[in-house]
Amino acid sequence: MDSAESRLAVGVVGTGRVGAALGAALQRAGHRVVAASGVSEASRRRADKLLPGVPLLPPQDVVRAADLLLLTVPDDILPGLVEGLAATGSVRPGTILVHTSGRHGYAVLDPATRAGALPLALHPAMTFTGTEVDVARLAGCSFGVTAPDPLRPIAEALVVEMGGEPEWIEEAARPLYHAALAYGSNYLITLVAQAEDLLAAAGVREPGRMLGPLLGAALDNALRSGDLALTGPVVRGDAGTVAAHLAVLRKEDPQAAQGYRALGRLTADRALASGQLSAEKAESLLGVLNKEADA
């Protein structure tokens, strides 16, 4: 951006983990965060830590003060928030209006766009903690960018200023894009936490220490080689081992057994499609998985 654009007045509506971090990143890039809004006590503390000195105001006042407005609220809240802000008449023509929802593109901003706002969807593909470390993690972070073609340079420039790397996502592809990220990231946490619980039940004193090197290597191999990185009893077709796993999981944690079955069937299908599992072994393996599911 040029020198004039680098001095934009930034407003943040929603000082959750994402909003506070992006506001801080924009300040580091030379912009000025002039106002923010936060409802919960945690949001207010976070704003005080990451955006010190920035006044906390009602959302409509934040909108009026901003040249660049960040709407960093949960996906389901965003449409109603945009409609409400547009109805107040607080959106000024020419305001750069950015939301960080993964699910939505820029069409969700239509009520404000009709008032003259410039709509951008910038979603950081990163997990946030609500601390200073989040700002550093934005370096090299991919952002899912969706915007009208004339505004694409502005969207990409903002991402680069925050240290990220823009990845263009078509409007219609936003739900699929977001589902893929949730599937890979959010559910990974569930899997890891459940694996830790099971190891603890097996008597392992430090489950995280045991899992860390294994999962780090598995993730690295998967990103490098995809399905060819598969290892373990499913890809080997060891139906007896899988049956033993399911038997003990049913007793220890029935929910884990259900997850194991679902992932086992998906893994078997992918191993079969990639040629790593023979049709004969797959039939036996899937028979065990489906039998256990019926039980």
User: Is residue 3 very low, low, confident or very high in pLDDT (cuts 50, 70, 90)?
Assistant: very low
User: Shortest CA distance to 1 belongs to which of 167, 165, 153, 163?
Assistant: 153
| Residues of the chain above pLDDT 70, percent | 97
| Residues of the chain above pLDDT 90, percent | 91
Q: Beta 118-124 vs 142-146: how paired, if at all?
A: antiparallel
User: Shortest CA distance to 98 belongs to which of 197, 166, 181, 187?
Assistant: 166
Q: What domains can be seen in the chain, in order of their start residue? A: 5-169 (3.40.50.720), 176-294 (1.10.1040)
Helix (H, G, I), strand (E, B) or coil at 226: helix
Kind and range of the H or E element at 146?
strand 142-146
- What pLDDT is attached to residue 123? 98
Q: Please give the structure tokens belonging to residue 30.
A: 């030379």
Task: Please give the residue that has the higher pLDDT: either 206 or 3.
Answer: 206
- What pLDDT is attached to residue 43? 87
On the question of pLDDT at 292 being above 70, the answer is: no
- What pLDDT is attached to residue 91? 94
On the question of pLDDT at 6 being above 70, the answer is: no
| C-alpha distance from residue 47 to each of 13, 24, 88 (Å) | 11, 9, 25
Which residue has tokens 């099971």?
198
Helix (H, G, I), strand (E, B) or coil at 10: strand
User: Is residue 131 very low, low, confident or very high in pLDDT (cuts 50, 70, 90)?
Assistant: confident
Residue 210 CA to residue 185 CA, distance in Å, equals 20
On the question of pLDDT at 207 being above 90, the answer is: yes
Rounded (5°) CA angle 138-184-50: 25
- Chain-centroid distance of CA 268 in Å reads 27
Helix (H, G, I), strand (E, B) or coil at 290: helix
Residue 240 CA to residue 230 CA, distance in Å, equals 18
Q: What is the pLDDT of residues 148-158, one digit of tens each?
A: 999 999 999 99
